[in-house]
Amino acid sequence: MFEAAPTLGPMTLSVFVGAALGWLALIAARLYAAQLQATLQPLECAEETEKLIAIPDGSSSDHHQWLRELIVGAFLGSALAAALVLRFSISTELALAAVLTLGLLVLTVIDQRHMLLPDSLTLPLVWLGLLCNIPGYFTNLQDAVIGAVLGYGSLWIIYWLFKLVRGKEGLGYGDFKLTGALGAWLGWQALPGIIFTAALVGACIGLAQVIIKKRQRDQPLPFGPFLAAAGFVVLCTGWQGPWLLSV
């Protein structure tokens, strides 16, 4: 159930807090890009490495891109924060949901740019989700543990089935861990809605990009952003999938 509508004060504050969350996500993603650059072999593949991780080079175009990213990040963060306030009002759940949202934002930016979901972010989200549900903030601990296991295991099974049939990888291990983290936060009941929404939206966007020639048919599409967006929708609405509407 939704809480009582928040006052104008908390909603106004959420705009500024949300903008800060958006900026933090962008900064964290750039810091990760710098760390990624340091771990690769720049002497062997300097050009490919620079293109992959898009480290800021200090040029005028880079400054303009960074400014655009900050503006988009501020608007997106503010919208997400306002949705959280509408859902949870001022509460402990709101603070915890903001932490999850920040993690999802950072993972979305990193996966979109680098096709990676680092363990240094996904695994702490799993453990934090389980800890949050010891007192039952979002679901009970049993459902959280089952959600973590099923979230990881369901995509692991899909990964191997796809690989056996098509002979190539269709998902990354980071996708398993992110889904497990969402299951740990929201419970196993949330997983059908998350996976269904992410797969449907991802397939539609991927197909549209192929049709308009913005993406090659065999070019991979990062799945993490769709999982993160679907997880946020379920966090704010409690939606568990179209097959449950008649239950």
In angstroms, how far is CA 183 from the centroid of its own chain?
13
End-to-end CA distance of the chain: 17
Rounded Cα distance between 69 and 81, Å, is 18
Delimit the domains of the chain by residue range: 8-244
Q: Helix axis angle, 119-132 relative to 173-186, nearest 10°?
A: 20
User: Rounded to 5 degrees, what are φ and ψ at 89?
Assistant: 55, -160
Select from 34, 21, 127 the least CA-distant residue to 76. Answer: 21
Residue type, 72: V
Question: Containing H/E element for 149?
Answer: helix 141-166
pTM beyond 0.85, yes or no: no
Q: Which has more confidence, 166 or 129?
A: 129
Residue type, 87: R
- 132-148 in b/e form (b: 16+ CB < 10 A) is bbeeebbbebebbbbbb
pLDDT tens column, 191-247: 999 999 999 998 898 888 888 877 677 777 899 999 999 999 999 998 776 654 444
9 falls in which pLDDT band (50, 70, 90)?
A: low
Q: Which has more confidence, 192 or 70?
A: 192
Tokens in use for 240? Answer: 């568990």
Tokens 């963060």 -> residue: 77
Provide the 8-state DSSP code for 115.
S
Provide the 8-state DSSP code for 245.
T
Rounded Cα distance between 138 and 87, Å, is 12
177 falls in which pLDDT band (50, 70, 90)?
A: very high
pLDDT at 150 over 50: yes
The set of residues, in sequence order, having a beta carbon less than 8 Å from that of 153 and lying 6+ positions away, is: none
State mean pLDDT over 144-163: 92
Phi-psi map region of 243: left, alpha, beta (phi>0 left; psi -120 to 50 alpha): alpha
Rounded Cα distance between 25 and 20, Å, is 9
Residue 223's SS3 state is: coil
